[in-house]
A and B are shown apart, each in its own frame.
Chain A
């Protein structure tokens, strides 16, 4: 234990972002952000809270109080697997999963996510592939993610890949929809 590593933990009001909570609460599904009574049901129900740096409850509290940097840079929001356990058990019926989505979007918007973090790489690769082809090929997607995050792992998973390929479960042929133009027009209309 190195006590010289002690860091300042206090937050001064000037370090908080008072607009942050307002931005989040206006997003779809986040309307009830301020109803939270910090009971911790979400943290208890969450199968992944055991691994999070901040439990979902703390993410909510920090969001409300404007600890924007800490929230957007926490990896809790990227660990959320969208299983909705928290949302269905919340006694105030807060859609915590949707709040996590809103925070992920915000982090991407502000470029505050860890670059080589597989979760965000996956999200972006997925996004690109669907925009281009309308569908997604799991084999290609996972290969890309591994290439961009930890290329060495490709060898580790090669055996699994080979097996899947022999079972006809992955292929390098990518499925493409016919009306790609239509889809792109729809998606571009939202930019």
Chain B
């Protein structure tokens, strides 16, 4: 299996641990992943607020690059691990192929840069690849250190299943839970698994953004979780990095390990900590010691 991989800006920055652990996990499962050369920013939420067409054009350039790359096995599957990139690339794909006037404008714009895009790329999330292409059975065989005693709150965030539920249920996604079960971990019933973490509001309107992520962590604790698994660099950042600030802000303790689901998989696969970017975490999972 060979996939193209679109990292997006965050996986080269605050979300480096996500990239490192994901690549390590794919390698452990013998899946070839090749980074899309010269990719650019996906367009993201903030861009869309200023100029939607240009946001689509940014996304379209990436899709066109991907299409150009993978001529031997079309249509190309492009992995987008960041939830926001995943949504924006998918949304652009839909609008370009389904809305004639937007499609025409984007095609003209691409032509200005000597590029074309015929609409054949599949934008996919690593959760989707792991569960549907690789499968729970294959993952189970790779587990070396079952994660007994780990009670995971699986946090999907908003933009994987909304608004386009292509590989999981829109209201009650379970793909990450299934992966966690395969690793020998338990998952907790946590009704907030797709509730918004606050996104970029944590950096702009702190009071609001922080409260949104704070209540997520708080409720995960109430539900008996001992770790939160994330699938998006921004969600991860929000849930993880402000825990200390919440103490002063809310006079309430919400302290919990937060790790990318790929890091947790890597732990179960027995991959060394360094390759999983564990040292880049604020709250190292308490079980690392117990497991390794």
Are A and B in direct contact (Cβ within 8 Å)? yes
Contact of B49 among A27, A83, A105, A145 (CB under 8 A): A105
Name the B residues within 8 Å of A14 (CB-CB). none
Which A116-153 residues have a C-beta within 8 angstroms of B? 117-119, 122-124, 126-127, 130, 134-139, 142, 145
Which one, B39, B200, B241, B280, contacts A168 given CB within 8 A?
A: B280
Task: Assess whether B52 is interfacial by the CB under 8 Å rule.
Answer: yes
Q: Which residues 49-71 of A sit at the B interface, judged by CB distance below 8 A?
A: 51
Report the separation of the CA atoms of residues A85 and B208 in the bound assembly, to the nearest whole angstrom. Answer: 17
Do residues A105 and B110 form an inter-chain contact, with CB atoms below 8 A?
Answer: no
**A138, B13: Cβ atoms under 8 Å?**
yes
Taking a contact as CB atoms under 8 Å apart, the answer to whether B163 and A84 are in contact is: yes
Is A175's beta carbon under 8 Å from chain B?
Answer: yes
A130 in contact with B58 given A82-B45, A142-B203, A170-B14 (CB within 8 Å): yes
Chain A residues within 8 Å of B10, by CB: 138
Say yes or no: is A169 at the interface (Cβ < 8 Å to chain B): yes
Which listed residue (B9, B47, B95, B196) contacts A83, Cβ 8 A? B196
Name the B residues within 8 Å of A168 (CB-CB). Answer: 16, 280
Q: How many residues of B contact A (CB 8 A)?
A: 65
User: Which of A95, A101, A102 counts the most B-chain CB atoms under 10 A from its CB?
Assistant: A101
> A12-27 CB contact bits vs B (8 Å, 1 = yes)?
0000000000000001
Q: How far is the CA of A154 from the CA of B162 in the complex (A)?
A: 34
A28 and B52 contact, CB distance less than 8 A: yes
Residues of B within 8 A of A179 (CB): 38, 113
The interface residues of chain A lying within 8 Å CB-to-CB of B226 are none
Q: In the bound complex, how far is the Cα of B47 from the Cα of A178, in angstroms?
A: 21
Interface residues in A, total, Cβ within 8 A: 58
Is B24 at the interface (CB under 8 A from chain A)? no
Question: From residue 99 to 117 of chain A, which have CB atoms closer than 8 A to chain B?
Answer: 101-102, 104-105, 108, 117
Q: Is B282 an interface residue (CB 8 A)?
A: yes
In the complex the two chains form, is B49's CB within 8 Å of A108's CB? yes
- For the complex, give the distance between the alpha carbons of A57 and B8 in Å: 33
Residue B22, interface by CB 8 Å: no
Q: Given the known A-B contacts A95-B163, A123-B46, A175-B12, are A48 and B212 also in contact in the complex, defined by CB atoms under 8 Å?
A: yes
B204 near A122 with CB under 8 A, answer yes
Specify the chain A residue showing the minimal Cβ separation from B241: A160
Q: Which residue of A lies closest to B201 (CB)?
A: A81
Which of B13, B102, B208 lies in contact with A139, CB distance below 8 A? B13
User: Quick check: is B50 within 8 A (CB to CB) of the other chain?
Assistant: yes
Separation of A117 and B208 alpha carbons in the complex (Å): 14
Q: Are A169 and B16 in contact (CB under 8 A)?
A: yes
Roughly how many angstroms separate A48 CA and B116 CA in the complex, as a whole number? 39
Is residue A158 contacting chain B, with contact meaning CB distance below 8 A?
no
Q: Are A82 and B170 interface neighbours, CB within 8 A?
A: no
6 chain-A/chain-B pairs, Cβ below 8 angstroms: A82-B158, A108-B50, A122-B203, A137-B9, A160-B245, A189-B57
Known A-B contacts: A123-B46, A123-B50. Give 9 more (CB < 8 A). Answer: A81-B199, A82-B199, A83-B162, A122-B200, A122-B203, A122-B204, A127-B50, A177-B38, A187-B57
